[in-house]
Structure 1
C-alpha cells in the first residue's frame, strides 16, 4: 500500500512547487533581460547557481536592488563571483549580485574604507539589518567582469535566507521578463549497458541511439536491443527567443511502460550538492570529449536532492519475452517540451564493441576506506570519496606518483603523501606536491614533517614533489621612473609567478599602504589615484609580491605628480 501511494504521488506530480512571490522583485538591470547562462546549467564541478545576465558586452551598467532590504554581506575576491553584494529581504529571501565592477555611493565608500582598514584587496564583510538598508530600485553598483567571469555580465541569484539554498529565479516571476517559445533540443540519446554481461545493440560500451522526427513533432528512437540492466543518457540544451546561446534544460522525466522511473528538475538545491554534477554526467566521457551526457539513472544512488526516482533508480532490466516502451520528456521552464519514445526489446546479441580496456592493478571500493602505498608514496581515500567502485591504476616511476587519471571524479578530498630526504632544511618550505598536467605542475598546499610531505586534493592524476625557489615577476608596461603622471587616473603593474602561484601582493606610496585591485585573468594590479594617497611632487612606489611558498619580489620606482592638474 505504501509503495502504491508513493507511485501515485510520483507519477502525478514529479516535483512539488513552493509558493514563491511573483511580483515582489523588480529586475536588477534597466535593460531587457537576456541570459548568457541559466539556473542549473552544467558547469565544471558545479551546477550554475543563478542567472548570468548580459550587459551589452560591456561594463558599467547600473545594477539595482530588486526589493527593499539591507546589505547583509559583501565579498571581494579575485576568483568566483569577484565583487559581490548580498541583500537580505524581509520576505525571507536573499538576492545576490556578482562580477560587479564596483559598488556605488555609501556602499562603495564603506568598501574602500574596509580595504584600507584591513590592508587587503580581498575582504568579506557581514552587516546587521540596520547598518546598510536599501530600497527597491536603489542603485547599488555597476556591472563588471571581476572574479572568474569570462566576459562582462551580471551574475544574479536568489537564496533562501535561513537555509542559503539557491532557488531558480524563474520562480519569482522573472519568466515574465523573458520570452521562450522554443522546445529544448536533445542532440544525442545514449544507451548504457550497466553490468558485465549486458550488450546494447552489439555494444558493451555506451552507444548512441538514432532519433527520427515524427509528424506530430515528437521523436522516435531506433530500437534498443539488449539483455540485462541498461540505462539512458542525453545531451540536451535549450534556446530562448532572444539570447541565441545554449542554456540548460529545466525538467527531465523518464518513464518505462507508463511508470515514471527517473527525473530531475532544476528548482532549488544547496551549495553542498554542487559537486554532484560529476555524478549526474558521464564524467569519463566529459573529460575525454568535453561533452556532458546527463545520465538518467543512478548506479549506485547519490544524494542529489533534485532527483526523484523509484526503486529502480532509472535502471531498466530487459528480460526475455518482455517488450518495453520508454518515454523521455525534456522541458524548459515555459513548458516547451521535447518528447522521445524509445522501444526496448530483449535479445542475446553478439558483442561487436567490447568494453574499454582499463589499465589498473587495484580495486577501490567507494563505500570503504582505501589505502595504497609504494616506494615511499601513498594515497588514502576515505569512504565516500568516490561515487562508484572502480579499478585503480596506482604506481610510482621516476619519482612520479600515478593515482589513476582524471576520468574518475572524486567528491571529497583524499590524501597524498610522498617521503623524500633530498631537500635541505632551508628549502623544505619551498617544496610542494604538484599535479602534473599538460607538461605543467600545479601547486597544492603541502605540509612537511620529518621529510614526509602531505597534501589533500580532489583530482586523480600524476603527482610529484616540486621545488620552487623562483620569485614572482613584477613588470610595468612603460617605465614611469622620474616621469610626470599628472594626467593619469590610475597606476598599473603586472605580476606573475611560473610555479606555485601568487599568494599576496601589497603596494605602498610614500610608505603608506595603497589599495591595488588584482585581476587574476590579466595579472594586473591597479591603483586608483582618487584614493587620495598620492601627493604633489615626488612619489615613491613600492610593490611587494609573495608566491605560495614564500618567495618574494620587490619593485620600486618613483614618479612626479601635480594634483592640481
Structure 2
C-alpha cells in the first residue's frame, strides 16, 4: 500500500503542470516555425532558456510582439543574447527576443539616444511602463546574428514576470505551430559502477550497453550482471517533422521493477539552476568526447528543481536473489515516447577491466572548505564548489599552477592567489592571472593587493601570471585618409587584442563621441553615418582602444563627406 501511494505521489509531483494560456501569444515571426534549438537543450554550462527560431539563414526578418504589453528591458551586449528586447505582458509573463539586428521605429530611436547619452555600445535599459507600449503583432525589431549567436536566428523566451523563471514556450500553445510525430532517439545507454567494490559485466569502469530494437518499437539492452550499487546514463536527442536537426528531449523517466527512480522534465526553472547541467551530464566524458550523457542518478544530491528522485537518488543496488528490470522512458512534448528495458542480474564476476588509474596527491570533499598551497601559489575552494568528492592533482612547476584539469566541473567560483616577487611595481600593472590551454591564454579579471594577485574562476586547469605589454591593434580594410566618403553608409574598423582582450573602445568624430557597434565574432566596429554626427565637408576621426591591463592604441584619420543629394 505504501509503495502504491508513493508511486502516485512521485508521478503526480513529477508531471503536475500549471495551466498556462494556450492562445494568448502569437508567433514572433511570420514564417513557419522551425527550431534550431529548443527549451532545455543541453548547452555548455547551461540549459537552453527558450527557442532558437530559424530565420531562413538570413538577417532582417520582421520580429513581432507576441502580445500586448510594454518594453520593460533592453540589453545590448557583445556576448549572450546580443541585442535583446523584453516585453512585459499584463497576463503575468514576459517575452524575450534575442540576437536582434536592429530595433524598429521609436524603439530604435530610444535605444540610439541611450547609446549617446551613456556613451557606450553595451547598455542595459529599463523603460517605464508608459514609455514604450507595444501591441500584439507590432513590428518591434528585425532578426539578426548579434551576441553569442553562431548564425542568424531569433532567440525567443517566455518568463514568469514576478519570479523571472523561464518557462517552456510549448506550454503556451507553440506546440500547435510545430508538427512532431517522431519519437526521441536513444543513441546510447551507459551503466556506471558507483562503489569501489562494484563491477559490471567484468568492468569497474562505465560501459556502453548494446541495444536491440524489438518488434513493438522498444529497445532491449544486453543483460547487466553486477554486484553492489550501479547507476545509468542516457545519450538521447529528438527530431520534429520540420526542423531537420537534433534537439533536446522534453522528459526522461527511469523505473526499477516498475518503481520510479529518477526523472526530469524541462518545463520551468530559474537562471540560478542553469549551471547544474554540468552535474546532470557525465562532465568528464563530455570534455573528452563531446558526448553529453545524462546521468540518471546523483552521487550527491544537487538542487535542480526539475529532478524528482527516489530515496536512493536514482542509484540501483544489485543484491543476491533479486532480479531487476530497469526501464528508461524518453518523451518529447507531444508525447512521442521511446523506451529501453535493461535486465539486471546479481553475480560476482571476475574483474577484467579495472578502474582508470588516478594520479593525485590530494582529496577534495565537496561539502567542506578546502585550501591548498605550494610555493607562492594557493587555491581556496569554498564548500559547495564541486558536486562530488574527487581526487585532485595540485602542483606548482616553473611558475605555473597545475590545478587538476577541466574534467571535474565547478559550480561556483573558487579563488586562486599568486604572490609575485620578481616583477617591478610598474610591470605588475600589466599582469593578470591567465588560464593556459595549449597555446591559448584566457584573461581572468585579476585583483592586486601589493604583490599578491587574486582571481575568481570556475574552471580547473593550468594558471600563471601573464604579462601583457602589447597594445591592441586597429586596422581599416581600405584607407580613407583624405578621401570623399559621400556614397558610404558606414565606417568599419577591425580591432583586436591577442592577450588580455579588449576592455573598451571609443570613437570620436570632430571631437564628439560616436557610436561604434562591436561584433565580437568578426572583431569589427561599425559606425553608421545616419546617426547624424558626421559633418558636411571635412571630418576628423579618432578611435581609442584599451585592453584589460591598460595598454591603449589610438587610430586617427580624416575624410570628407557631402550630405547633399
What is the TM-score when the length of structure 2 is the normalising length? 0.99
1:407 maps to what in 2? 407
Q: Who is 2:434 aligned against?
A: 434
**1:8: which partner in 2?**
8
Cα distance in 2 for partners of 1:59, 1:48 equals: 22
SS at match of 1:187: strand
Correspondence 1:369-408 to 2 at 5 A: 369-408=369-408
The separation in 1 between residues aligned to 2:210 and 2:564, in whole angstroms, is 73
Q: What does residue 253 of structure 2 align with?
A: 253
SS in 2 for 1:286: helix
Aligned to 2:484: 484
How big is the shift at 1:4?
5.9
In structure 2, list runs of 5 or more residues that go unmatched. Answer: none
Specify the alignment match of 1:333 in structure 2.
333
CA contact (8 A) 1:63 1:142 kept: yes
Aligned-partner Cα distance in 1 for 2:29–2:441: 42
> Offset at 1:379?
0.3
2-structure distance, mates of 1:200, 1:148: 42
Give the secondary structure class of the aligned counterpart of 1:14.
helix
Contact 1:11 1:259 in 2 (8 A): no
Partner SS for 1:220: strand
Q: What is the CA–CA distance in structure 2 between the aligned matches of 1:184 and 1:282, rounded to whole Å?
A: 20
**Aligned twin of 2:312:** 312
Cα offset for 1:12? Answer: 5.2
Q: 4+ residue stretches of structure 1 with deviation over 4 A?
A: 1-4
SS of 1:546's partner is strand
Residue 447 of structure 1, CA deviation: 1.1
Partner in structure 2 of residue 237 of structure 1:
237
Structure 1 stretch displaced more, 515-524 or 432-441: 432-441
Matches of 1:489 and 1:154, distance apart in 2: 26
In 1, the alpha carbon distance for the partners of 2:364 and 2:496 equals: 39
Unaligned runs of 5+ in 1: none
Alignment partners' CA distance in 2, 1:177 and 1:385 = 42
Q: Does 1:475 align with 2:475?
A: yes
Q: Contact 1:414 / 1:458 at 8 angstroms: preserved in 2?
A: yes
Give the 3 Å change call, closer, same or farther, for CA 196–491 of structure 1 in structure 2.
same
> Structure 1 residues 423-432 or 192-201, which shifts more?
423-432
Match in the other structure for 1:183: 183
In 2, the alpha carbon distance for the partners of 1:518 and 1:262 equals 45
For 1:521 and 1:115, how far apart are their aligned partners in 2? 21
1:50 aligns with 2:45: no
Aligned partners of 2:102 and 2:502: how far apart in 1? 23
Question: 3-state DSSP class of the match of 2:15?
Answer: coil
Determine the structure 2 residue equivalent to 1:111.
Answer: 111
The corresponding residue for 2:503 is: 503
Residue aligning to 1:65: 65
CA contact (8 A) 1:416 1:456 kept: yes
Other-structure match for 1:462 = 462
Separation of aligned partners in 2, 1:465 and 1:511: 38
Aligned-partner Cα distance in 1 for 2:11–2:194? 25
1:403 and 1:243 map into 2 onto residues whose CA distance is: 42
Q: In structure 1, what is the equivalent of residue 120 of structure 2?
A: 120
Q: Is 2:11 the counterpart of 1:19?
A: no
Shift of 1:563: 1.0
Q: Equivalents in 2 of 1:493, 1:487: separation in Å?
A: 17
Deviation at 1:132? 1.2
| In structure 2, distance between residues paired with 1:515 and 1:3 | 65
Q: Does 1:204 align with 2:204?
A: yes
CA distance in 2, matches of 1:339, 1:18: 26
Q: Tell me what 1:516 maps to.
A: 516
> 2:170 aligned with 1:170, yes or no?
yes
CA distance in structure 1 between the partners assigned to 2:544 and 2:240 by the alignment? 48
What residue in structure 2 maps to residue 536 of structure 1?
Answer: 536
Deviation at 1:128, TM superposition (A): 2.2
Report if the CA contact (8 A) 1:283-1:408 is conserved: yes
The 3 A distance-change label for structure 1 pair 338 and 4 is: closer
State how far apart, in whole Å, the 1-side matches of 2:2 and 2:385 are.
34
Q: CA deviation at 1:450?
A: 2.4
Q: Distance in 1 between matches of 2:6 and 2:502?
A: 54
- 1:211-230 correspondence to structure 2 within 5 Å: 211-230=211-230
Q: Deviations over 1:441-482 (max 9, x none)?
A: 111111111211111100000000010111100000111111
SS at 2:513 equivalent:
strand
- Distance in 2 (CA, whole Å) between partners of 1:287 and 1:416 is 22
* Alpha-carbon distance in structure 2 between the residues aligned to 1:53 and 1:493: 31
The 3-state SS of whatever aligns with 1:484 is: coil
Distance 1:155 1:389 in 2: 37
Tell me the CA shift for residue 6 of structure 1. Answer: 3.7
- Aligned partner of 1:278 in structure 2 is 278
1:8 Cα shift? 2.3
| CA apart distance, 1:13 | 5.9
2:48 and 2:133 map into 1 onto residues whose CA distance is: 28
Q: Deviations over 1:491-536 (max 9, x none)?
A: 0000000100000000011111000000000000000000011111
- What CA distance in whole angstroms lies between the structure 2 residues aligned with 1:469 and 1:495? 17
Offset at residue 438 of structure 1 (A): 2.0
Q: TM-score with structure 1 length normalisation?
A: 0.99
1:202-237 Cα shifts (integer Å, max 9, x gaps): 111110001100011111111011000000001100
Q: How far is 1:11 from its partner?
A: 3.6
